[in-house]
Homo-oligomer: A and B are copies of this chain.
Amino acid sequence: MANEQLQEAVDALKKTKVRMTPQRHAILEFLFDSMSHPTADEIYKALEGKFPNMSVATVYNNLRVFKEVGIVKELTYGDSSSRFDCVTTDHYHVICSDCGKIVDFHYPGLDEVETLAEHVTGFQVNNHRMEVYGRCPECKNISKH
């Protein structure tokens, strides 16, 4: 369940001298609950009922903190604002070029690519990013008519 992962994330934060605040908890909760990949603004809007005085800066600040600790990943696409995804299991994303929908899919981590890149370039490789682009079933249908 999402709750266990949330708890793990909270524990991870405690170990790194990062204080737990209601705002931080709410942002994390929202990220883990919604299995979507919200933008900073979406998070801000979703929580303004609970925290009418919360600042957008708080959302951005905390997303940066979460990224540094390693429990959140930033997804950047050309068009608009960044999206944020909690780092849970090893999954990748398929993104619809038409409507922007993001769908997760599982695939074994591309470790071979990392090691090859390391040998060929002399870099000390830490991680990678991979996304697949195409058209989602809905958009495929729309274009047929």
Contact = CB atoms under 8 A, between A and B. Distances in A.
A35 to B, nearest CB: 15
Interface of A: 74, 76-78, 82, 92, 94, 96-97, 103, 105-107, 110, 113-114, 116-118, 120-137, 140
Contact of A128 (B120, B121, B131): B131
Contacts of A103: 121, 123
A134 B110 CA distance: 15
B123 A94 contact: yes
A132 B113 contact: yes
A107 B92 CA distance: 19
A92 B110 CA distance: 13
B133 A130 contact: no
A96 to B, nearest CB: 7
A105 B122 CA distance: 11
B124 A134 contact: yes
Contact of A135 (B107, B110, B124, B140): B124
